[in-house]
Amino acid sequence: MFEFDFAQYRQALSDKIADRCPGSVAGEPLLNELQRVADEAERLLEQHQVADRSLLDCGPGCSSCCVVNVSTLLPEGIAIAHYLRGQDVGLKNQIRSKVEELWCEVRGLDDEERLCMRRKCAFLDEQGCCTIYPVRPLLCRSLTSTDADRCREALVGQAFGEERPILMHQFQQQLYETLFIGVADGLEKGGLDGRSFQLTGLIRFLFKHPEAEAELLEGRRLCWQDLY
């Protein structure tokens, strides 16, 4: 039977990320490494039988889980900001005002309160698809339902205080969660801020302060006043 050594995977990731930390030109090696490890995880899921993706019931247009706080690491946020810079001005402006509006409503809310609001992520388009899909946060990739109807019902139920299980694709969930922790460890080891921030607040900050990117990639740590 196939067994995957998550502890070793996490250690290797952490070392690779730490190696690409400060001293780099505009953080490019770090951002490239982040993309590379995310692509590698994708390939791993395609290749291994234990990760049978036919079990997944998530698909384009189903955005029922896009109503939660998404914890996002700094380089993930910076990669999203870079990606958005390459999009057309109309889309960029639209996303920017959605981010601003959403952040005013959700800042300071804990996970449960955020879920209760049922407010959709600012990156969803009219069709319910993620507009930053190629660079979406690692924890968005870890949410993988094996039964979309039950997932939807459970999320609605949770907003009303009901405890219903959400059936997840366990291997994929654990792989991306380990990836997230490995990257966070590597950032701290490499002298950068390895804490996570709420996706909406982080992107709003990066929209407003593009000049801060270089400082963040050199070890500046954000404080809560920066985001609020």
Residue ranges in 28-169 assigned as alpha helix (H):
28-47, 74-85, 89-106, 111-117, 138-142, 148-159
Residue type present at position 59: G
Q: Is 123 an interacting residue with respect to ligand SF4 (CB under 6 A)? A: yes
Query: Site map for ligand SF4, 45-64, x if CB under 6 A?
Result: ------------------x-
Structure tokens at 98: 């959605």
Q: Is 203 an interacting residue with respect to ligand SF4 (CB under 6 A)? A: no
Q: Is 132 an interacting residue with respect to ligand SF4 (CB under 6 A)? A: yes
Q: Is 124 an interacting residue with respect to ligand SF4 (CB under 6 A)? A: yes
Could you tell me the smallest distance in angstroms from the CB atom of residue 113 to ligand SF4?
Answer: 17
Query: How distant, in Å, are the alpha carbons of 22, 46, 138, 211 from that of 191?
Result: 7, 33, 21, 20
User: What's phi and psi for 72, nearest 5 deg?
Assistant: -135, 135
Answer for which of 62, 130, 159, 227 binds ligand SF4 (CB under 6 A) is: 130
Q: Among the candidate windows 12-20, 51-59, 95-103, 132-140, which touches ligand SF4 by CB under 6 A?
A: 132-140
194, 185 Cβ separation under 8 angstroms: yes
Within a 10 A sphere around the Cβ of 172, how many other Cβ atoms? 24
Q: Is 73 an interacting residue with respect to ligand SF4 (CB under 6 A)? A: no
Q: Is 79 an interacting residue with respect to ligand SF4 (CB under 6 A)? A: no
Q: Give the residues lining the site for ligand SF4 (CB under 6 A).
A: 63, 66, 70, 121, 123-124, 130, 132, 136-137, 140
